[in-house]
Each structure stands twice: as structure tokens, then as C-alpha cells.
Amino acid sequence: MRRNGPIRVAVVGAGVGGLALAGALRRSGAQVVVLERASEFAPVGSGLSLCGNGFRALDALSLGDRVRAVTADAPPPGTAGGRRPDGSWLIRFSSEATARIRVVDRTELHTALLDGLADVEIRTGAQVVAADDTGVTLADDERVGNFDVVVGADGLRSRVRAGWPADPGVTYAGYGAWRGITRRPIPLTAGGETFGSGKRFGIAPLRDGRVYWFAAISTDRDARPDHTVLREAFAGWHAPVGELIDATDADAVSYLPIEYLAQPLPSYRQGTRVLLGDAAHAMTPDLGQGANQALEDAAVLEKLLRPAIVAHDRQRISPALGEYDAIRRPRSQAVASQARLVGRVGQAAGVRAALRDAALRIAPDRVVSARSVRIQDWHP
């Protein structure tokens, strides 16, 4: 058994999954360096859903209490489900499906995860252009090396994944999404998504009464529409859609074309490099599972690496990464496939939209809700 000091880990990317993993690995005894391409951590005018599976992962990473401090104490109030633009209900979610869901301001979540990084070195402005089994190369040709594990948590266009022999690249889902958080609380009696023809609007309250919302419109990939199109696109939709758009500062509304991995990866590890979150399984946001799957990745990877870290035993690293791939790839890729299907149905237009609405009307609420319950029924 070779013992050669603490296990050293580079985590490329300071998103939700990368930060959660970095702190947990450090608490297990690893020396951890986080490399983030952004020069600073700026506020993000967006929210995300944390579900039962995400909270179990956070608990396994010793972050559950810290994150619960920035989420609501209960699920979003009122009825949740899917509606038509006139406000009539197509489907209502069961209380079991929503009981463990909390919507959080992404900036507050990021701050909570940063606060859990005691003794972790964080380098901002570190633009990784290539990675190998022992380290990375930055844009200024600086070599950052001598690592036992390199974790690619660097998102959709991962530079760590770019070194994979079968990197599939990304593809466009056919629609773009605006996201915003109202500058003031807005009373709500219902949440969820509203389905139109080639467009959707989602509503989710935060713990302080402000509302996180998103709008998805089918458009060309290269389009960069201004947020002013929202008022026209959703004119006449049920309350409070128009009020939410008006109650959000224009400079706090973001837009992204929705993209995902063009093909499932055949492996999440290559040597002692390993992928996590969007770098491994970037998915459309249609199930609200992106961050939750990244947290699952982090919890499983930390658990499997812990024996090697505690024993300073590098011979255990490769088997641990192989087991991580075997555990995480089937589940995360299945969730990504479901998300793409839900997105295609949600963005249906014309006759297909009418067929979607008819199908949702006759589908038992419990059957539709069961999918969410199954996805959340995960334990590390």
C-alpha cells in the first residue's frame, strides 16, 4: 500500500455540484483546489428547485442544515400543476409529489455552499483549457498539477470533458428560456407551469415571498431576443404572469438557449479524471433535476473516494471512480432522457399542443405525480 501524504483533488468549476463536492472532500481529509473561470462570484437572478433526492444528497455531504437555512420551511403554498393560458387546470400535482420540494434563490444557495468551504483553496479567473490525469492547463499556459483526481464540474461545455475520446458536444433543444426573480413579494395561490403553443411560463415562490419565474419560447438557436418580447408573448395569460414580468427589473432577467449533451457519454471517468453535473449529463431543465442530479453525483463520489482519502491510499482511487461511473451513469442519463421528453411535450405547438392538453386533462393526477415521486425516491 502506497502512502504519500493527503490525496489531492482539483475541482474544475464552482457551480452547485463542484462546491458541494469540494467542501465534503476537504472534510474527509483531502487537499482540494477549486478552479473557477469567472473572475468573481456575481449575483444570479434565478432560482432552482431542490427536491427530496437533492436534500438527501446535501445531508450526506453535511450541507443539509446550511442549505435549509436559505429555503422555505414548507413546499410552495397553494395548488401546483399545469394550466392553460386562461388559467384552467390541466393537471394537479399530488401533495406527495411536492412535499419535499423547496425553491431557492440560486445566489443564496451558492453563498451557503461557499460558506461551507473552510480550508479549500479557490482560484477565480482560472480558465482551464485542457486537463489530464494529474492536472490542468490554464489559458495563460500555466500548469496546475500534481493532483490525484481531477473533477470536471465545469458545465455544459466542459474543458475537462473535451479530452474524452467520445465527447458528443452539445445540441439545441429548440427553445430559449428567460429567468427572473421579482424585486418584491407577490402573493400567490398557485404555482407550476402554464402551457401555450410553443411557449410555457413557470411560477415558484421563494421563502421571502419574492417569486422565481421562467418563460420558455420556441425560437431559432442563434436568436438573442430582448426580454421585452415577453409582455407580447404572454399577453392575455392568466394572473399573475404579466405582474411577475413587470415586477422584475429588466437587468435582472437572463436569457439562455437551452442545450444539452448531444449523446449520452459512454463513461463519466477517464483515468483519474471524472465528470460531475452538467459536464457529465447536461439536461434540459424540464424536470427541475439539474442541480439535484449534480448533488447526487457529489454525494456518491465523495462517499466512494472517502476510504482512499482517509487511508492516503492512491490504489483505491481508480476502483472508486469506476464504481462511481457504474452507479451514476444509468440513473442520471435516464433522468436526462425523461427531461428531454417532457421538454418536447411542453413546447408542443399547434395541433400537437392541443393533443398534449387533451392528454393531460384525462391523465389521472396521481399517475403524472408518480414520476416526480419516483425520481425523488433516491438514497446515497
pLDDT tens for each residue of the chain, 380 residues long: 345 799 999 999 999 999 999 999 999 999 999 999 999 988 887 999 999 999 999 999 999 999 999 998 888 888 999 999 999 999 999 999 999 999 999 999 999 999 989 899 999 999 999 999 999 999 999 999 999 999 999 999 999 999 998 899 999 999 999 999 999 999 999 999 999 999 999 999 999 999 999 999 999 988 877 778 899 999 999 999 999 999 999 989 999 999 999 999 999 999 999 999 999 999 999 999 999 999 999 999 999 999 999 999 999 999 999 999 999 999 999 999 999 999 999 999 999 999 999 999 999 999 889 989 999 999 98
CATH label of the domain that carries residue 27: 3.50.50.60
1 assigned to some structural domain: no
Spacing of C-alpha 350 from chain mean position:
30
Does residue 230 contact residue 178 with C-beta atoms inside 8 Å?
Answer: yes
Say what the pTM is.
Answer: 0.96
How many helices and strands in the chain, by DSSP H and E? 12, 18
145 assigned to some structural domain: yes
332 assigned to some structural domain: yes
- Supply angle C-alpha 7, 31, 298, rounded to 5: 85
The per-residue pLDDT for 1 is: 34
276 assigned to some structural domain: yes
Element (H or E) spanning 167, and its range?
A: none
Does residue 209 contact residue 266 with C-beta atoms inside 8 Å?
Answer: no
Between helix 52-60 and helix 290-311 the angle, nearest 10°, is 20
2 assigned to some structural domain: no
Q: Which of 198, 218, 234, 176 is nearest to 351 (CA)?
A: 198
3 assigned to some structural domain: no
Number of domains observed in the structure of the chain: 1
- Work out whether the CA dihedral 44, 46, 47, 48 comes out positive or negative: negative
The per-residue pLDDT for 101 is: 95
Does residue 171 contact residue 292 with C-beta atoms inside 8 Å?
Answer: no
Distance CA 22, CA 118 (A): 10
Does residue 307 contact residue 7 with C-beta atoms inside 8 Å?
Answer: no
Go through the chain and tell me how many residues it has: 380
Distance CA 187, CA 319 (A): 52
DSSP 8-state symbol, 3: B
- Grid coordinates standing for 362? 384525462
Does residue 126 contact residue 81 with C-beta atoms inside 8 Å?
Answer: no
How many Cβ atoms are within 10 Å of 314's Cβ, its own excluded? 17
315 assigned to some structural domain: yes
45 assigned to some structural domain: yes
Domain that holds residue 126: 8-376
The per-residue pLDDT for 2 is: 42
- Grid coordinates standing for 338? 425523461
Cα radius of gyration rounded to whole Å, the chain: 21
Cis peptide before 240 (omega within 30 of 0): yes
